[in-house]
Structures are given as structure tokens and as C-alpha cells.
């Protein structure tokens, strides 16, 4: 390791090495203590997970079967198939850093998982970690993967996780897996991932050594917090350089993380794009036309919603969203729906399911939401308004996922 310290990053590399060693020691200590008390109680903690290498043939077969069932003759499905094929072909590239730049609607969630499975099979990675910035979309992503691979293959770990699933042993296994991330596929938040990578607390640092040797997909990579961007990029680069990780920066709007204008320089991303011709994809997959609508007060927004049976308004604050929803109800708008991070995850899931049902049936659906709806929630409206600081954009056309 000392021979591989990178010029200009030696201090950071040594700090990461120290964290890795600390993680191994902490996990060993916890496991020894747990085993001691298990022997006294005559029980065994359900910590065993199959190795990813043993599971990959079945996981890849399940993935291929799922993708085959999504086939169709439409131009969009053909383009998604081309994207998937190209991305999976990139799995043969040497481990390291990758970008995946696919516009909304191009199927990058499934394409990135296909890449991760093939890349792990070819290069021997130990697990797949899918990190997402918002809990508002982690539910739907984890559900997609569970539907494909089965509940017992996917660990979902974030602050709003519901561990009250049937079966005491299943609940205990999930709880224990959240401590060390020993599961083959982990779906988590950026907060959980990066707090573990930089943690000084033993309980959080415990899982760090299990992140080594992983394929890490950073979904919506443009959402990495700007104030913490440089340490996050250095950590991503360190994991790829020294700990056998492959990291995929997955987004519709790829940040300039390779820019030399960044402090300490950018990431080495040249020639590491997995998608075929992102500029052409942006043209081919354009689904919305954005028109500046000018300043609109609440009565104007309510009037605009009243003129379309299916539409939505996004505002900056939860308080504003609640006031606007109350105004919509007072105006008698049929199908008014309110969506905010203040709602419990289970309630949000029910509301989103109801929205999808209304949209599919052509029923009135007038959604008023905070920005949680912008980052990957899979909905498709014909029209929407984004209100911010008195400036509004009117979005016409098929609007799904990111606005």
C-alpha cells in the first residue's frame, strides 16, 4: 500500500488505509463479542449471506428474464435496448471509475444494474452497492430490484426503512446486515454511504471494509453536496485506486467531475463513458418542452391547475406546498393531491400509487409537491409548473422522472 501512495494524495490515502484497518478491527471485535454471548445463550445470529460470486449466475439469469419481458416494438424500447446492450458491453473494461449519462426515460437504473452484474462476474467484485440521494426514490428502486432478484437478495438501508416485515428471523437478519453491509446487493442513501466512509464512530465505520471490492452505482450523481464535493471525489477515487471498487456516476446531467478547474484536480474519467453518444441520446429522448411562464402568484397557479385535468406544481417549501394544496381544495379542484417529505414513507407510497392509477385511467389528478418529486420519482404528467423565487417554468409534453 505504501508503495502505491499517489503524489499529492498521500495523506488522504493513509487516512483511508487507517479507516479500513479500523473497520476490520471494529467488525472483528463486535463479531467476537456477539459470538461469545450467542454461545452462552445457545443461539446463532443469522448473519450468513451467500457470496455474490455464487449468486451471479442466478442473478444474471433473473435480470435477463426480466429484461426480455419488457421488450416491445416501440422506438423508445428499441433505444432502451441499444443503451442496455452498449452499457453491458462496457463491463469488460478494467475496474475503476465510469460515467453513465442517459436522459430521463432511457432506462439507466436497469442498465446500471446490468453493468454491475456483468462487471462483478468478470472482475470478481464482492457486492453491488446502489446509492441514491433521496429516500423519496429509494423505495421504488429497491422494489424494482426485489421484484427481479427476490426479497432475500436485496438489503435496503436508510433512515425510513420499514423493518417490520413478517418473520422474526428475517427482521433480525436485515437489522444485522445494516450493521456491516454483508448482503450481496445493498440499496442505500448517499448519506449512509459517505457517512460510513468518513465516520469516526465504530458503529458506522464497521461496514467500511465491506465496501471494498464493490461495484458502487451513484445514482443522480449531480446531487453530491457542493460543500462536500472535493472530499467525496477524493474518496471515490481512493476506493477505485486502492480497494478494488468500480464506481459508476449515473445521471441524466453529468457534472464536470473530470474538470481540471476543480481544486486538487478532477477525476480521471476520459474514455470511461458507458452510454452510446450522450449528446444524441439527449436529443432522441427529449420528452418535454420548457416554456418560461413568468411570475405567478398562488391564485394564478391554482387557475393554471384548474385549466388542465392532469398537472402538477412544484414549490420550494413544505409550508408553501401545504398552503397551495389548501387553496386548491378550497377552490374545489377535483383530484387535488399533496406530496411532501413530511409524510411517512408508507403514506407517500400509497399517494404515488394513487397518482399512477389516476394518470393511467385519465382521471383528474392535480399534484402539489415539494422538490422531492423532481429527483427520480417515476410519474408521467402532461403538464407541470416549477415555481421558484417568483420565476416559473411551464413544462409541456410527457414529463416523467426528473423535471
CATH value at residue 356: 3.40.50.300
Lookup: cell for 137? 426514490
Q: Which of 251, 278, 305 is the last residue of a domain?
A: 278
Q: Are residues 259 and 340 in the same domain?
A: no
User: Does 283 fall in a domain?
Assistant: no
CA 49 to chain centre: 23
**pLDDT the model gives residue 168:** 45
Q: Are residues 336 and 383 in the same domain?
A: yes
**pLDDT the model gives residue 159:** 54
**pLDDT the model gives residue 290:** 78
Reported as type and span, the H/E element at residue 255 is none
One digit per residue, the tens of pLDDT, for the chain of length 403 reads 444 677 777 889 999 999 999 999 999 998 888 888 888 888 776 667 888 999 999 999 999 999 988 867 788 888 999 999 999 999 999 999 999 999 888 889 999 999 999 999 999 999 999 998 877 678 788 889 999 998 888 888 765 555 445 444 555 556 666 777 888 999 998 988 998 899 888 888 888 999 999 999 999 898 888 888 889 999 999 999 999 999 999 998 888 888 876 766 788 899 999 999 888 888 888 877 777 777 888 998 999 899 889 998 988 888 999 999 999 999 999 999 998 878 877 788 889 889 989 998 999 999 998 877 765 567 778 777 777 544 455 655 544 433 3
Q: Are residues 256 and 391 in the same domain?
A: no
Q: Which residue has the cell 457486492?
A: 127
User: Does 187 fall in a domain?
Assistant: yes
**pLDDT the model gives residue 392:** 56
User: Does 342 fall in a domain?
Assistant: yes
Q: Which of 255, 278, 301 is the last residue of a domain?
A: 278
User: Does 1 fall in a domain?
Assistant: no
Contact 386, 403 (CB under 8 A): yes
Dist. CA 194–CA 92, nearest whole Å: 27
Q: Are residues 267 and 302 in the same domain?
A: no
**pLDDT the model gives residue 329:** 94
Mention every residue, 6+ apart, whose C-beta is less than 8 A from residue 167. Answer: none
Q: Are residues 298 and 237 in the same domain?
A: no
pTM of structure: 0.81
**pLDDT the model gives residue 403:** 34
User: Does 2 fall in a domain?
Assistant: no
Dist. CA 252–CA 117, nearest whole Å: 21
Domain encompassing residue 180? 7-278
User: Does 336 fall in a domain?
Assistant: yes
User: Does 103 fall in a domain?
Assistant: yes
Count the domains in the chain. 2
Find the largest Cα–Cα distance for the chain: 70
Dist. CA 131–CA 181, nearest whole Å: 13
Q: Are residues 129 and 269 in the same domain?
A: yes
Which of these, 173, 167, 398, 124, lies nearest to 287 by C-alpha position?
A: 398
**pLDDT the model gives residue 353:** 87
Contact 156, 178 (CB under 8 A): no
Dist. CA 70–CA 193, nearest whole Å: 31
**pLDDT the model gives residue 345:** 74
Q: Which of 244, 278, 312 is the last residue of a domain?
A: 278
Q: Are residues 334 and 257 in the same domain?
A: no
Reported as type and span, the H/E element at residue 92 is none
Contact 179, 208 (CB under 8 A): no
Q: Are residues 311 and 238 in the same domain?
A: no
Q: Are residues 170 and 319 in the same domain?
A: no
**pLDDT the model gives residue 342:** 81
Which of these, 263, 373, 370, 257, lies nearest to 322 by C-alpha position?
A: 370
Contact 367, 382 (CB under 8 A): no
Q: Are residues 273 and 374 in the same domain?
A: no
Q: Are residues 222 and 359 in the same domain?
A: no
User: Does 50 fall in a domain?
Assistant: yes
Q: Are residues 302 and 267 in the same domain?
A: no
Amino acid at each position: 500500500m505504501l508503495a502505491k501512495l499517489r503524489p499529492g494524495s498521500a495523506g488522504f490515502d493513509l487516512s483511508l488505509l487507517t479507516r479500513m484497518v479500523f473497520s476490520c478491527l471494529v467488525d472483528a471485535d463486535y463479531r467476537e463479542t456477539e459470538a461469545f454471548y450467542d454461545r452462552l445463550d445457545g443461539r446463532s445470529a443469522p448473519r450468513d449471506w451467500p457470496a455474490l460470486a455464487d449468486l451471479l449466475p442466478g442473478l444474471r439469469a433473473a435480470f435477463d428474464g426480466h429484461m426480455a419481458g419488457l421488450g416491445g416494438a416501440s422506438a423508445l424500447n428499441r433505444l432502451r435496448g441499444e443503451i442496455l446492450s452498449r452499457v453491458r458491453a462496457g463491463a469488460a473494461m478494467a475496474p475503476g471509475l465510469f460515467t453513465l449519462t442517459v436522459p430521463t426515460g432511457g432506462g439507466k437504473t436497469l442498465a446500471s444494474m446490468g453493468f454491475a452484474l456483468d462487471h462483478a462476474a468478470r472482475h470478481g467484485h464482492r457486492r453491488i452497492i446502489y446509492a441514491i440521494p433521496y429516500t423519496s426514490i429509494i423505495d421504488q428502486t429497491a422494489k424494482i430490484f426485489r421484484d427481479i432478484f427476490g426479497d432475500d437478495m436485496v438489503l435496503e438501508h436508510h433512515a425510513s426503512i420499514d423493518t417490520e416485515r413478517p418473520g422474526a428471523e428475517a427482521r433480525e437478519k436485515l437489522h444485522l446486515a445494516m450493521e456491516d453491509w454483508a448482503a450481496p446487493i445493498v440499496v442505500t442513501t448517499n448519506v449512509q454511504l459517505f457517512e460510513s466512509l468518513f465516520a469516526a464512530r465504530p458503529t458506522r465505520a464497521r461496514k467500511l471494509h465491506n465496501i471494498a471490492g464493490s461495484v458502487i452505482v451513484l445514482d443522480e450523481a449531480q446531487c453530491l453536496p457542493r460543500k462536500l464535493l472535493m472530499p467525496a471525489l477524493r474518496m471515490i477515487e481512493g476506493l477505485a485506486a486502492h480497494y478494488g471498487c468500480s464506481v459508476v456516476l449515473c445521471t441524466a446531467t453529468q457534472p464536470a467531475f473530470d474538470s481540471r478547474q476543480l481544486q486538487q484536480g478532477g477525476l480521471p474519467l476520459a474514455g470511461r463513458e458507458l452510454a452510446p453518444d450522450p449528446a444524441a441520446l439527449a436529443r432522441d429522448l427529449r420528452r418535454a418542452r420548457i416554456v418560461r411562464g413568468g411570475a405567478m402568484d398562488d391564485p394564478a397557479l391554482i387557475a393554471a391547475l384548474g385549466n388542465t385535468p392532469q398537472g402538477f406544481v412544484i414549490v420550494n417549501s413544505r409550508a408553501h406546498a401545504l398552503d397551495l394544496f389548501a387553496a386548491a381544495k378550497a377552490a374545489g379542484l377535483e383530484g387535488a393531491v399533496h406530496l411532501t417529505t413530511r409524510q411517512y414513507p408508507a403514506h407517500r407510497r400509497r399517494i404515488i400509487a394513487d397518482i399512477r392509477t389516476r394518470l393511467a385511467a385519465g382521471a383528474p389528478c392535480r399534484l402539489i409537491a415539494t422538490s422531492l418529486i423532481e429527483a427520480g420519482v417515476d410519474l408521467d404528467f402532461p403538464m407541470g409548473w416549477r415555481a421558484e423565487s417568483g420565476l416559473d417554468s411551464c413544462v409541456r409534453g410527457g414529463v416523467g422522472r426528473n423535471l
